[in-house]
Amino acid sequence: MITPVVIDNPQEMEVWVSGPLGANRLYIYTGVAIFLIKGTGPGWFRDYIDFELGRVFPPGQVKDVLATASLNSIKNEEHAVNAGWAVDRLMARWDPVEERVKLRADLAVRDSDGFIQRMGYQVTVLAKV
């Protein structure tokens, strides 16, 4: 796991809704995760970031969670040789231990001087509060 992950410009919006499964709130979380992952050569180097966001949701409140992400900052220090950067997989879920939503992003970079430095995200939580 990549650490540290610093969240820059975290934002939250709470919207009252009349949704499925008795949902009455929609929470939208956005921000930029700042971290550093460096490639190791011509093959893909894979690692992940994992962090909590937003408010505490007691058991039974979260009805659904959706997430999207994009690479916000990448670089190559010298000559790019078969360089590549990727968000391979993104998963947002409610964690029953912390009672918060967690976001995990599986990342990949290739080229010995290739870096991923920032990832923007948006997570939407449908809840019954």
- Summarised one tens digit per residue, pLDDT across range 48-73 is 999 999 999 999 999 999 999 999 99
CA dihedral 122, 60, 23, 57 (to 10 degrees): -40
- Domain-wise residue ranges, the chain: 6-127
The reported pLDDT for the residue numbered 63 is 97
Task: For the chain, give the percent of residues with pLDDT over 70.
Answer: 100
Please report, as a single letter, which amino acid is at residue 102.
Answer: K
Within 8 A by CB and 6+ apart from 82, the residues are 42, 110, 111
Helix (H, G, I), strand (E, B) or coil at 37: strand
**10 vs 27, 33, 39, 53, CA distance in Å?**
13, 9, 27, 9
